[in-house]
Amino acid sequence: MPRTRDLTDPDWWRTAVVYQVYPRSFADGNGDGIGDLAGLIDRVPYLAGLGIDAVWLSPFYPSALADGGYDVDDYRDVDPRIGTLEQFDELVAALHAAGIRIVVDIVPNHSGSGHRWFQAALAAGPGSPERARYIFRDGLGEDGSQPPSDWVSHFGGSAWTRVPDPSSASGQGGQWYLHLFAPEQPDFDWSNPEVREEFHDILRFWADRGVDGFRVDVAHALAKDLSEPLASYPRIHRDVLKDDGTDVLFDRDEVHDIFRGWRDVMNEYDPPRSAVAEAWAAPARLPLYARPDELGQTFEFDLVVEPWDRARFRESIENALVRAREAGASSTWVLSNHDIVRHATRFGLPADVDLPAWLMTHGTDPVEDRRTGLARARAATMLLLALPGSAYLYQGEELGLPEVGDIPFDALEDPIWERNGHTEKGRDGARVPLPWTPDGPSFGFGSGGSHLPQPEWFADYAVAVEDADPSSTLNLYRAALGLRAQLATGDGFRFVDDRDGVIEVVRDGGWRSVTTFGTTAALPDGDVLLSSAPVGADRVLPADATAWIRDRA
Ligand code: NOJ
Ligand code: CA
> What does the pLDDT look like over 425-483, one tens digit per residue?
999 999 999 999 999 999 999 999 999 999 999 999 999 999 999 999 999 999 999 99
CA 101 – CA 97 distance, rounded (Å): 9
pLDDT of 171 strictly over 90? no
Atom of ligand 1 nearest to the CA of 339: 5
268 is catalytic: yes
Atom of ligand 1 nearest to the CA of 337: 3
Element (H, E) at 161: strand 160-162
pLDDT of 1 strictly over 70? no
> Around Cβ 241, how many Cβ atoms within 10 Å?
17
Query: Ligand 2 (ion): which residues have CB within 5 A?
Result: 28, 30, 32, 34, 36
Res 173: pLDDT: 86
Res 2: pLDDT: 38
- Which three-class secondary structure state does DSSP give residue 466? helix
Question: Looking at 276-290, 354-368, 449-463, 483-497, which range is the least confident one?
Answer: 483-497
Res 491: pLDDT: 76
Ligand 1 center from residue 417 Cα (angstroms): 15
Q: What is the DSSP string of 432-464?
A: SPPP-SSSSGGGGT-SS--SSPPPGGGGGG-HH
Say if pTM beats, i.e. exceeds, 0.95: yes
Residue of 25, 58, 67 to test ligand 1 pocket, by largest number of atoms within 8 Å of CB: 67
Contact 521, 541 (CB under 8 A): yes
Dihedral, 532, 307, 104, 271 alpha carbons, nearest 10: 70
Question: Looking at 126-140, 252-266, 459-473, 476-490, which range is the least confident one?
Answer: 476-490
Ligand 2 center from residue 444 Cα (angstroms): 13
Ligand 1 center from residue 254 Cα (angstroms): 21
Looking at per-residue pLDDT, the higher value among 244 and 6 belongs to 244
**Catalytic residue, candidates 36, 105, 187, 217:** 217
Res 553: pLDDT: 81
The ligand whose atoms approach the alpha carbon of 222 most closely is 1
Instruction: Kindly report the protein residue whose alpha carbon is nearest to atom 10 of ligand 1.
Output: 70
Instruction: Compute the average pLDDT of residues 501-509.
Output: 96
The ligand whose atoms approach the alpha carbon of 105 most closely is 1
**Catalytic residue, candidates 208, 268, 315, 497:** 268
Instruction: Kindly report the protein residue whose alpha carbon is nearest to atom 3 of ligand 1.
Output: 339
Element (H, E) at 137: strand 136-137
The ligand whose atoms approach the alpha carbon of 25 most closely is 2
CA 297 – CA 272 distance, rounded (Å): 14
Atom of ligand 1 nearest to the CA of 181: 10
Residue of 57, 103, 105, 181 to test ligand 1 pocket, by largest number of atoms within 8 Å of CB: 181
CA 343 – CA 380 distance, rounded (Å): 9
Residues having CB closer than 6 A to ligand 1 are: 67-68, 70, 107, 181, 217-218, 278, 338-339
Instruction: Kindly report the protein residue whose alpha carbon is nearest to atom 11 of ligand 1.
Output: 70
Indicate the residue type of 342.
R
Please state whether beta strands 493-496 and 101-106 pair in parallel, antiparallel, or not at all (unpaired): unpaired
DSSP type of residue 102 = E
Ligand 1 center from residue 278 Cα (angstroms): 9
pLDDT of 300 strictly over 50? yes
Question: Looking at 434-448, 480-494, 533-547, which range is the least confident one?
Answer: 480-494
Atom of ligand 1 nearest to the CA of 415: 7
Residue of 218, 276, 338, 427 to test ligand 1 pocket, by largest number of atoms within 8 Å of CB: 218
Residue of 180, 214, 337, 339 to test ligand 1 pocket, by largest number of atoms within 8 Å of CB: 339
Ligand 2 center from residue 129 Cα (angstroms): 38
Cα angle at 195 between 193 and 200, to 5 degrees? 95
CA 521 – CA 509 distance, rounded (Å): 23
Ligand 1 center from residue 468 Cα (angstroms): 36
The ligand whose atoms approach the alpha carbon of 112 most closely is 1
The ligand whose atoms approach the alpha carbon of 26 most closely is 2
Res 489: pLDDT: 66
Q: Considering the chain, what is the average pLDDT of its residues?
A: 96
pLDDT of 409 strictly over 80? yes
pLDDT of 233 strictly over 60? yes
Ligand 2 center from residue 34 Cα (angstroms): 4
Query: What is the per-residue pLDDT across 80-108, written as a single tens digit (0 to 9) for each?
Result: 999 999 999 999 999 999 999 999 999 99
Ligand 1 center from residue 58 Cα (angstroms): 10
Atom of ligand 1 nearest to the CA of 70: 11
CA 231 – CA 296 distance, rounded (Å): 32
Name the residue among 122, 124, 105 with its Cα closest to residue 113: 122
Instruction: Kindly report the protein residue whose alpha carbon is nearest to atom 2 of ligand 1.
Output: 217
Res 515: pLDDT: 98
Query: What is the per-residue pLDDT across 18-29, written as a single tens digit (0 to 9) for each?
Result: 999 999 999 999
Ligand 1 center from residue 268 Cα (angstroms): 28
Instruction: Kindly report the protein residue whose alpha carbon is nearest to atom 4 of ligand 1.
Output: 339
Res 492: pLDDT: 84
Atom of ligand 1 nearest to the CA of 278: 1
Query: What is the per-residue pLDDT across 66-80, written as a single tens digit (0 to 9) for each?
Result: 999 999 999 999 999
pLDDT of 4 strictly over 60? no
Instruction: Compute the average pLDDT of residues 20-44.
Output: 98
Res 6: pLDDT: 84
130 is catalytic: no
